[in-house]
Chain A
Amino acid sequence: MTPSAAAAASPWWPVALAVDVPAGVAVPASLDGDDVVVWRTAKGELRIFADRCPHRGMRLSFGFVRDETLVCLYHGWRWRADGGCALIPAHPDLAPPPSLCVPSYPAAEADGLIWMAATIPGRPPPAMTGCTPLASLVVDRPAAVIAAAIAAAWGAMDGVCARLAEGDVVLRMAIQPVHAERTMLHVLLAEGDPLVAIGVAEAWRDRFEAAEPVP
């Protein structure tokens, strides 16, 4: 399945494990070449913004969270969770106009995964009920190659999600196309020993990296 076919099946795309974005932290992510910053306010509200400060274009993922705002590292402009500008430190008396805002994306957290969508989807992200997040693994292969390898080895994918049973281990994976040549596998444990499961997931990662291009 190509990423666009997967998008038709599910408007949600995984971008991080929830444990990797604790409250008060901002991390970078990319989806199909679009750079975003995934962050949580000090109170833990999850947000996904374009990773580009509207002021001079600095990556907001280089910035830091202060209370309920994301602060740009370059000139310290502060961005609220609603995307609006809260403060311009060089002009503390200026009320920033509402037009000054960072583009944001719908974000959702479910079963230990953080999902993002391009527009507000009419349904929740795929369920991974009862699973424990294990790891996010980078594969330097296009998502379409990995989707084809998964379909050949494990059977058809369910949107952007796949299920693998090997020995006593059952894994769920959610696939994030990072850019044309890179894919992130978000791995969750459904059944089995976590240490064994990590070994199984890494072995599959290596196999995906060696997979043949889709003809």
Chain B
Amino acid sequence: MGEAFGAFVEARLARLGLAGSVQAGASSAWVDVSGPAPLVDMLEVACLLGPIESLVDGVELISMAEASNLQKPEP
């Protein structure tokens, strides 16, 4: 995934006016995002498509409440 995916998500966050951040590693990425549900859904679809350099197998959505109990995967 890497840098290309990180830059792609940052551009989508900015375009959708969503607050958030992305940590993208070689084989996984973690995106923190908050905002109106329809816009978060749009970001999810964008992540699923990803940039041309990345092949995305799937996206798992975790609510902030659940996420606070989770250890973020090492990207």
Give A residues with C-beta under 8 Å from B: 54, 88, 90-91, 94, 97-100
Interface size class of B (residues with CB under 8 A): under 10
Chain A residue at minimal CB-CB distance from B42: A55
Instruction: Specify which of B17, B36, B38 is in contact with A99 (CB 8 Å cutoff).
Output: B17
Q: Please give, as numbers and ranges, the residues of chain A lying within 8 Å of B16 by CB-CB distance.
A: 97, 99-100
Residue B14, interface by CB 8 Å: yes
| CB closest residue in chain B, given A93 | B38
Do A54 and B15 contact each other (CB < 8 Å), given the known contacts A94-B38, A94-B39? Answer: yes
Q: Could you tell me if B17 and A88 are in contact, using CB atoms closer than 8 angstroms?
A: no
A98 to B14, CA, bound (A): 10
Of all chain A residues, the one with the shortest Cβ separation from B14 is A99
Query: At the interface, is chain A mostly helix, strand, loop or mixed?
Result: loop
Contacts of B14 in A (CB 8 A): 99
| Contact bitstring B29-40, A, C-beta under 8 A = 1, else 0 | 000000010110
List 6 tightest A-B contacts by C-beta distance, closest first.
A97-B17, A99-B17, A91-B38, A94-B38, A99-B15, A94-B36
Question: CB-CB < 8 A to A90: which residues of B?
Answer: 38
From residue A158, how far is it (CB to closest CB) to chain B in Å? 41
CB proximity of A101 to chain B, nearest CB, Å:
9
Chain B's closest residue to A95 (CB) is B36
> Can you spell out 19 A-B residue pairs with CB atoms less than 8 angstroms apart?
A54-B15, A88-B38, A90-B38, A91-B38, A94-B36, A94-B38, A94-B39, A97-B16, A97-B17, A97-B18, A97-B39, A98-B17, A99-B14, A99-B15, A99-B16, A99-B17, A100-B15, A100-B16, A100-B17
